[in-house]
Amino acid sequence: MPLINADALVLNPREAETVSEVIFERVFNDSDLAEYHEVETGIDVKTQIAFATRLGLLGKETQGCTPNEADGFSLTQKYWEPVLEDFRLKHCQTDMPALLKLFRKSQRINPDFFDLVGSQELGVIIAAVESALVENIHRKVWFNDKTAATVANSGVFTNGTDLGYFNSFDGLFKQIFAEVPTSAANYVAIAKNAGTTYAAQVLDEDAALGIFEKMVTKADERLVSADDVFILASRSLADNYRASLRNKNLGSGFLEVVEEGRQKLYFDGIEVKVRYDWDRYIKDYQNNGTKYHLPHRAVLTTKSNIPVGTLSEEDLTKLDVFYDKTLRTNIMDAAYSIDAKHLEPYMTVAAY
């Protein structure tokens, strides 16, 4: 099967001449990982993450010659366990005769007709793969689950999903659901997630306003005072909150503003980052045909509390592109190590 299907292209009076004139379907999240996560590099298998509890009360009135003994602190640990993932895409020039016309005016003369490395044609493929790779890393970081199962097998993933794309390591939702369970003090329930139909899962008016308020109220003082605190929210919650902003005068800390040419949403002075990609992944991959699995989600935390670990950050965005003469095939390889960690539960409030 050809890597690109170009059969829909037809001859026009003037064809596109360069890669910049090809309009790609947009990805669902092309943001850098660093917008949402601290990215730890040099991470290898079983790299230790050590935690120290804080010291308690210190200092009592001196009694005699014996100093007052203070309580100590304890150490706990987690481990980075990055997995190695890879993929390969192959493209042969003869697979796609229809695409040749697209770059007729910019095609260089090449002693080897099949070698497209450095060409405009292969540039189209590389651009598409690099943007998709970023999107897929975001998906893995949040939705991966080592015990992933489809609905037919008592899981939450859409029937027919290739679970090999989801089960290499545990993503952040899997970890947060375990460490901030429904019984935890820093959990906020979203009642509509329990709806048994798509219609029954639609949020009531001002629902997000109440959910965000409960999240901030339940947050540890160390979390709400952190410099990098934010709320990550599904589009469903963000849209519901925006509707409330349009109908209410909540003050300067509750607004949507344009900063540096970009729309930003705030709740009580805390930025709300809208994760449009979450909604898409839930609809596509956690859908039983009648309802979605937890379609409304929000996480109040910090970048430093949900880091992503890798051996090299460059591996997450770069391709190895080469031509194999024996196969007359242009090959794009990617390999990277990756893991994600939810570090300290008290630095998170989860709504789901």
DSSP sequence for 29-94: ----GGGTS-EE-S--TTEEEEEEPPP-------BTTBPPPPP---EEEEEE--EEEEEEEEE-GG
Q: Can you tell me the distance from the alpha carbon of 30 to that of 225, in angstroms, rounded to the nearest whole number?
A: 29
Q: Is residue 267 one of the residues assigned to a domain?
A: yes
Q: Can you tell me the distance from the alpha carbon of 289 to that of 276, in angstroms, rounded to the nearest whole number?
A: 21
Q: What is the mean pLDDT of each run of 10 residues along the chain (352 residues)?
A: 53 42 49 89 79 64 77 71 88 60 47 64 73 89 98 98 97 98 98 98 97 98 96 98 88 71 87 96 98 98 95 79 82 89 97 98
Q: Is residue 249 one of the residues assigned to a domain?
A: yes
User: Which 3 state secondary structure label does DSSP give 10?
Assistant: coil
Q: Is residue 199 one of the residues assigned to a domain?
A: yes
Total of domains in the chain: 1
* CB contact set of 243 (below 8 Å; sequence gap of 6+): 205, 206
pLDDT for position 70: 65
Q: Is residue 325 one of the residues assigned to a domain?
A: yes
pLDDT for position 350: 98
Q: Is residue 73 one of the residues assigned to a domain?
A: no
pLDDT for position 223: 97
> Domain residues for 287?
35-42+80-351
Question: What distance lies between CA 88 and its chain's CA centroid?
Answer: 22
Q: Is residue 2 one of the residues assigned to a domain?
A: no
Q: Which two tokens stand for residue 109?
A: 């003369």
pLDDT for position 103: 47
pTM score, whole prediction? 0.80
Q: Which amino acid is at 114?
A: F
Q: Which two tokens stand for residue 58?
A: 């210190």
Task: Give the DSSP H or E segment for 129.
Answer: helix 120-143
pLDDT for position 11: 40
Query: Cβ(157)–Cβ(163) under 8 Å?
Result: yes
